[in-house]
């Protein structure tokens, strides 16, 4: 798998990141990053805290300019046309940016003014979005009274006011419970199907990353791997066995010696990849059954992909 995301061959790309680097006070945050995302994709950027996700988000949104390299959105370079680029983007920030003292309708109206929307056309657009995102009965409620999930829906609706062709979302479900998170992504999928909108999002959650049509994994400011999540997981050899034992370090050493396999000792126990997981599991239970406190076996996950690509446990 290449470290350059090539999703499809249409031009111009929704997003083209060409060998960009960026640092803060001499400390690199991104190094030689290359990504390409075509229109209509759901493009995920996965990484732990400190991997450079938010810096990349800010560069895409023309909030920062790269030290080296070039970013284009639908063929536009923010260095030359920052205002035009922002007009093509619907942005949802990680931290909530609605005014909690204003009503939902007031938040949307005032944002509409900034996009050049006025009068009847703005009122109609607010009504449409309130119906799309199921908060029509809450338009006159102050944002401070809304649940976290509903606030996120309002922020997503606000980002869609000017009908942008590209959504850029930075950890958009941070702080939401699993049910609210799932509803949020259902609405993103509905927008993509209906309007052909491209959605680019950052996340540290595997269950979100696996939804993407193409995924880039960042590690310490570099692209470790990029591909469709299903292809990534298929490329990890074999299945994965997870064990908990009475002494993980000691048992891991014995397994390596007896079976000549790689055993990773993690905070969650022992992890073993194997192309013959079923047979190995039988052998392990026979040899260490009295020392194993729990065992599971399954297909490779994005956590396994991350470890294979970076040599690290995702934290």
pLDDT, tens digit, 9 for 90 and up, residues 138-166: 999 999 999 999 999 999 999 999 999 99
308 is a domain residue: no
Per-residue pLDDT, 238: 65
In a domain, 305, yes or no: no
> Is there a contact between 45 and 201 (Cβ–Cβ < 8 Å)?
yes
Same-domain check for residues 164 and 33: yes
In which band, very low, low, confident or very high, does the pLDDT at 7 lie, cut at 50, 70 and 90? Answer: very low
Answer yes or no: do 119 and 253 share one domain. no
Assess if residue 180 is contained within a domain. Answer: yes
What are 32-88's pLDDT values in tens digits? 999 999 899 999 999 999 999 999 999 999 999 999 999 999 999 988 998 999 999
State the helix-helix crossing angle for 178-195 and 148-159, rounded to 10 degrees: 20
pLDDT above 50 for 18: yes
Give percent of the chain with pLDDT exceeding 90.
63
Residue 55's pLDDT is 96
Q: Is the pLDDT of residue 3 over 80?
A: no
Task: For residues 283 and 187, state if they share a domain.
Answer: no
Answer yes or no: is 306 within a domain.
Answer: no
At which of 212, 232, 252 does a domain end? 232
Report yes or no on 196 lying in a domain. Answer: yes
Same-domain status, 222 and 89: yes
Do 145 and 281 belong to one domain? Answer: no
- Residue-wise pLDDT tens digits, 235-285: 775 678 889 999 999 999 999 999 988 898 888 899 887 777 778 888 899
Q: Using an 8 Å Cβ cutoff, are 81 and 75 in contact? A: no
Q: How confident is the model at residue 301 (pLDDT cuts 50, 70, 90)?
A: confident
pLDDT-derived band at 11 (thresholds 50, 70, 90) equals: low
Within this chain, do residues 142 and 247 fall inside the same structural domain, yes or no? no
Within a domain: residue 201?
yes
Answer for the pair 41, 48: CB distance below 8 angstroms, yes or no.
no
| Count of the separate structural domains present in the chain | 2
| Same domain, yes or no: 201 and 85 | yes
- Residues 86, 21 share a domain: yes
Whether 194 and 209 share a structural domain: yes
Tell me, yes or no, whether 126 lies in a domain: yes
CATH number at residue 259: 3.30.70.260
Q: Are residues 253 and 277 in the same domain?
A: yes
Instruction: Find the helix packing angle between 104-114 and 148-159, rounded to 10°.
Output: 20
pLDDT confidence of residue 224: 96
pLDDT tens figures, 71-84: 999 999 988 998 99
Q: Which of residues 15 and 238 earns the better pLDDT score?
A: 15
Q: What are the pLDDT digits (tens) for 200-210?
A: 999 999 999 99
Q: Tell me which residue range forms the domain holding 277.
A: 237-299
Residue 9 falls inside a structural domain: no
Report the CATH number at residue 30: 3.40.50.300
Residue 178 clears pLDDT 70, i.e. is over it: yes
For range 108-117, the mean pLDDT? 93
Looking at every residue in the chain, the average pLDDT score rounds to 90
Q: What's residue 171's pLDDT?
A: 93
**Among candidate residues 232, 253, 269, the one where a domain is terminated:** 232
Q: Are residues 43 and 84 in the same domain?
A: yes
DSSP 183-194: HHHHHHHHHHHH
Order the strands of the 222-227 sheet from edge to edge.
89-92, 166-170, 198-203, 42-46, 214-219, 222-227
Domain end among 207, 232, 257: 232
Comparison of pLDDT for 190 and 32, the residue scoring more: 32
Instruction: Please state, in angstroms and rounded to a whole number, the distance separating the CA atoms of residues 86 and 91.
Output: 9
For residues 262 and 271, what is the distance between their CA atoms, to the nearest angstrom? 9
Mean pLDDT of the region 9-14: 71
Which position has the higher pLDDT, 2 or 245? Answer: 245
pLDDT of residue 8: 42
Percent of the chain with pLDDT over 70: 96
Whether 224 and 92 share a structural domain: yes
């Amino acid at each position: 798998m290449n470290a350059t995301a090539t999703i499809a061959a249409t031009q111009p790309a929704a997003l083209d990141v060409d060998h960009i680097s960026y640092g803060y006070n001499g400390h690199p945050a991104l190094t030689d990053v290359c990504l390409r995302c075509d229109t209509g994709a759901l493009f995920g950027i996965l990484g732990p805290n400190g991997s450079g996700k938010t810096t990349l988000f800010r560069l895409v949104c023309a909030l920062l300019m790269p030290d080296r390299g070039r970013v284009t959105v639908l063929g536009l370079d923010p260095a030359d046309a920052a205002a035009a680029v922002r007009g093509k983007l619907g942005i949802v920030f990680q931290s909530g940016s609605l005014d909690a003292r204003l009503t939902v309708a007031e938040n949307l109206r005032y944002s509409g003014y900034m996009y050049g929307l006025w009068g009847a056309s703005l009122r109609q657009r607010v009504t449409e979005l309130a119906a799309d995102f199921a908060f029509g009965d809450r338009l006159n409620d102050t944002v401070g009274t809304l649940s976290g999930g509903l606030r996120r829906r309002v922020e997503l609706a606000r980002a869609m006011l000017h009908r942008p062709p590209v959504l850029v979302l930075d950890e958009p479900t941070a702080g939401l419970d699993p049910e609210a998170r799932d509803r949020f992504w259902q609405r993103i999928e509905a927008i993509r199907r209906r309007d052909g909108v491209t959605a680019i999002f950052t996340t540290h959650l595997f269950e979100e990353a696996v939804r993407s049509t193409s995924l880039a994994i960042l590690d310490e400011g570099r692209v470790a791997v990029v591909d469709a999540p299903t292809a990534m997981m298929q490329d990890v050899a074999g299945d994965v066995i997870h064990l908990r034992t009475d002494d993980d370090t000691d048992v891991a050493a014995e397994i390596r010696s007896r079976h000549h396999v790689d055993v990773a000792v993690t905070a969650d126990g022992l992890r073993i990849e194997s192309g013959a997981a079923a047979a190995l599991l039988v052998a392990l239970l026979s040899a260490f059954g009295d020392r194993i406190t729990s065992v599971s076996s399954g297909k490779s996950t994005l956590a396994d992909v991350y470890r294979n690509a970076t040599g690290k446990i995702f934290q």
